[in-house]
Amino acid sequence: MLRHFMAFILCVMTSTAMAQSFTVYEKGKGHGFNDDDVDSIVFSNSQAPTPSVEPRQINGRWCSLGTSISWLNENTDSYPLTKGYQTRVMEKLAFKKFENKAVNGGVLQSAISSVVLADYYTIEHGINDWGHSTPVGTIDDYIKNTKNGTFAATYRQVIDRIFTRNKKARVILCTPRKAYGYNGYLPDHWYDPLNDIYLEEYAKLIREIAAYESFPVADFFAEAGGQRQLPYLSYDSALHPNDAGMQIMANILIQAFEKILDE
């Protein structure tokens, strides 16, 4: 900036002596002017306004399955939120139709009957199953469709239900966002066990299922805040995201969507 300003002053001095013209250098590019044509010079640090970017139009339907964290998208008026993570996603990716079938307080089992016809599905579950101590199970429970009531076996039922509705469905699995507290509902730290079950066990299983099915993962567990950040990314103790927390989730989910969207 100083170099450009000094170049400008030098050019003005030269133009005064020669009474012909002067050159202004802006970011290394010179602009010539006749001194007789210039009435005044105004210096400003203002920048041109950033042009608005229209959302990308997606010719498909999105069904969002999840817990209260997803349910909040249509219920922000009752909570200290301006918009949920799904609305923030749609500001960038405008789906032809969106249906939020999340259940407030729901565990993964609640998603089976919530599946509607769509082209794209996201599943945000795990935190309430941890709160209710649902047995995690193993990837074999998922693969063998054991129907034994574990989180893994229930996940198989949800995925089967999705592909019954649309055999060409695109699916994104979301690991649970880290959380703790909430009036004793969860332990004091996200990394503490609850009835000998760790929240991370659900996240690991979800990643295993995604790898088995070749689904992309929106890894909220790994990327949406830890023990230190959660109080600043939540509107309650450390469970439900505030606006900043919702935006982080949206950013993560957009990246996952970009891997499966049809052109």
Write the pLDDT tens digit of every residue in 112-136. 999 999 999 999 999 999 999 999 9
Q: What is the DSSP string of 77-124?
A: GGTT-S--HHHHHHTTEEEEEEEE---TT--GGGGGGG--S-SEEEEE
Q: What is the rounded CA–CA span in Å between residue 188 and residue 128? A: 15
Domains, the chain? 2-37 (no CATH), 56-257 (3.40.50.1110)
**Token couple for 195:** 């009835």
pLDDT digits (tens, 9 = 90+) for 51-73: 567 899 999 999 999 999 999 99
pTM to 2 decimal places: 0.80
**Token couple for 52:** 């608005």
Ramachandran area for residue 257 (φ above 0: left; ψ -120 to 50: alpha; else beta): alpha
Judged by average pLDDT, the poorest of 45-49, 198-202, 204-208, 243-247 is: 45-49
Whole-number mean pLDDT of the chain? 88
Q: What is the rounded CA–CA span in Å between residue 37 and residue 20? A: 10
pLDDT confidence band for 12 (50 / 70 / 90): very low
Q: What is the pLDDT of residue 31?
A: 62
pLDDT confidence band for 15 (50 / 70 / 90): very low
